[in-house]
Structure formats: C-alpha cells, structure tokens
C-alpha cells in the first residue's frame, strides 16, 4: 500500500513569474486554479506509478490555496495555517516518499530562481542546519528523513531544480519554466508543464526503492539570520534561543523534528515582530 506525501507551494507552479500574480486578488484566483492543476498532475503521476494513497499539505502563504472541489478525489488535503509542522503537517513514518510540487529556490541561493525566499521572505535572510545552508526543500527533506521518508520528486523553475539537485542528485525534477530573474521567467504552457510533472512523478514512484532518506543525526543546531534586529531580538523570548549577532540567532535541539518545530516557532515570532508585536493592539 504505497503512500505518498505532497508538499505543495505556489511560486514554482506553471505560469508564475511575478509576486503580484500571487497577491493581486484577481490574479491570485487564477493561480489557485493553476496550482491545483499542477498538484493534480503530480497526484495522477503518483497513482500511475503505483501509489495507493496520497496526502497533500498546502504549503503556500496562508496554506489554503488549493481548490478542494477541483482536487483529484483520490487524494486528501491538509489546508489551513495553524500548524505545528508547517509545510509538512500530516507527514509521519507511514509514508513511502515525499514530493515537492511548485517549490522555489532559497533566499539568495541564485541570481535567477523565481520569487526566491526561505519560508518567510518578510523576515528570513538565511537558514543553516548544522552549518549547512538550506532552502525550504532541503530543510523539509531532512525533516522527512527524520520519519525515514525519502524525497523523490520536485517541480519548479530550472534554477530551483538545479539548486536542489546539488544535494539531492537522484531526485526526479520537473521543470515548469526557465528562470530569467527573481521576477521574470520564460514560461511553458501549463499543459506542457503538467505533462512533465505527471511523467516525472510517475517515474519517481515506480523507482521509489532506489531513493534513500536524507538524515541528520542529533543534536541539531539551527542558525537563522533575519532581515531586521527586532525580529532576531524577539525570538530570544524563548530561553533556548541565543542571539549571535544583531540579526542572527542560534538554538540546538535533540533531533531534527523537534528543531523544525522550534524553527517554525521562531519564524512566527519574527514575522509578528516585523512591525512590533503589539503594534496593532489597542486594548
């Protein structure tokens, strides 16, 4: 009973080239449909490859972008934004593989990759796990490894695929567009991109026994550099967090899953602290 987990983001889906497409409401509603269609292509590929169960975690922005009424009915969807495990909510050791659909490059990882950032562009400048710089896909892959689940598939722009395959050379990569600049891309037609997603997802599942989980032994240390000193300072309300510079913090946990939850807590605090944690409170 092969079981596949999909973490879905929006910046790397077919058709996306600028941030405004994801923020202007009329454009955003278009791209919700495109995101859902890309995810459906990955679901179809997974089932064609032999999967018997697929769970998707919507992982972009408010984490409720995918249109459930248009989703492949064979799959289940984790939606909504109050999540301890962020983009991996629902993942456990019963899954056989994880896919990353529509993901993007890390902050400052490439001069080209489209809408690059690491988890929260408003506050995070760089993340390191045990002194290794990571983007979202690399970090989430290590957390999946904590559940003994290998990363088997990614989709996004060509610069993102190249970036991830530097550390995950065997992962199947579906290129949805050619990155030109952080806010420009040479786009494939969505149907062409979905055909590639479907094909590579199927190959990944058929070849799943060749993939090995990426693991990191504890203790696990995160170093996070924020964009503003107020963001770093406020995370030190957690007694486990050490300020290592005006905008930088460090903390250590016993294992990668605990460290991931701790990181997400720090990012939540940092996002809230951007304009003052009580800036809009009047009572």
Active site residues: 117
The Cβ of residue 241 has, within 10 Å, a number of other Cβ atoms equal to 21
Q: How far apart are CA 19 and CA 11, in angstroms?
A: 8
Residue with the two structure tokens 């990882």: 109
How far apart, in Å, do the first and last CA atoms of the chain sit?
Answer: 53
* Sequence-ordered strand ranges (E) for the chain: 3-8, 53-58, 76-78, 97-101, 124-129, 132-133, 151-157, 172-181, 184-187, 220-226, 242-245, 248-253
Q: How far apart are CA 140 and CA 163, in angstroms?
A: 15
Residues 6+ apart with CB under 8 A from 65: 10, 32, 35, 58
Report in angstroms the alpha-carbon separations of 199 from 82, 146, 173, 192, 261.
33, 28, 10, 11, 33
Structure tokens at 120: 């929260």
Q: How far apart are CA 204 and CA 228, in angstroms?
A: 40
């Amino acid at each position: 009973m092969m079981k596949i987990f999909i973490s879905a983001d929006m910046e790397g889906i077919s058709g996306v080239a600028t941030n405004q497409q994801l923020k202007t409401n009329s454009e955003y509603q278009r791209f919700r449909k495109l995101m859902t269609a890309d995810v459906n292509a990955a679901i179809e590929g997974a089932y064609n490859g032999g999967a018997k169960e697929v769970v998707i975690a919507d992982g972009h922005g408010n984490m409720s972008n995918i249109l459930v009424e248009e989703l492949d009915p064979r799959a289940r969807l984790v939606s909504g934004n109050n999540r301890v495990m962020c983009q991996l909510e629902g993942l456990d050791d019963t899954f056989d593989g994880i896919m990353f659909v529509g993901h993007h490059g890390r902050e400052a990882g490439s001069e080209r990759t489209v809408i690059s950032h690491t988890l929260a562009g408003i506050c995070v400048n760089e993340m390191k796990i045990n002194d290794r710089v990571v983007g979202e896909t690399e970090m989430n892959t290590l957390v999946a490894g904590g559940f003994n689940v290998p990363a088997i598939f990614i989709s996004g722009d060509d610069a993102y695929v190249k970036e991830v395959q530097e550390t995950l050379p065997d992962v199947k990569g579906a290129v949805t567009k050619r990155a030109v600049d952080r806010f420009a891309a040479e786009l494939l037609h969505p149907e062409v991109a979905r055909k590639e997603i479907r094909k590579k997802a199927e190959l990944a599942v058929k070849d799943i026994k060749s993939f090995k989980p990426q693991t990191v032994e504890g203790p696990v240390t995160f170093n996070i550099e924020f964009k503003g000193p107020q963001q770093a300072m406020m995370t030190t309300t957690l007694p486990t967090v050490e300020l290592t510079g005006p905008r930088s913090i460090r903390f250590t946990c016993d294992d990668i899953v605990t460290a991931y939850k701790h990181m997400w807590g720090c990012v939540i605090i940092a996002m809230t602290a951007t304009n003052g944690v009580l800036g809009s409170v009047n009572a």
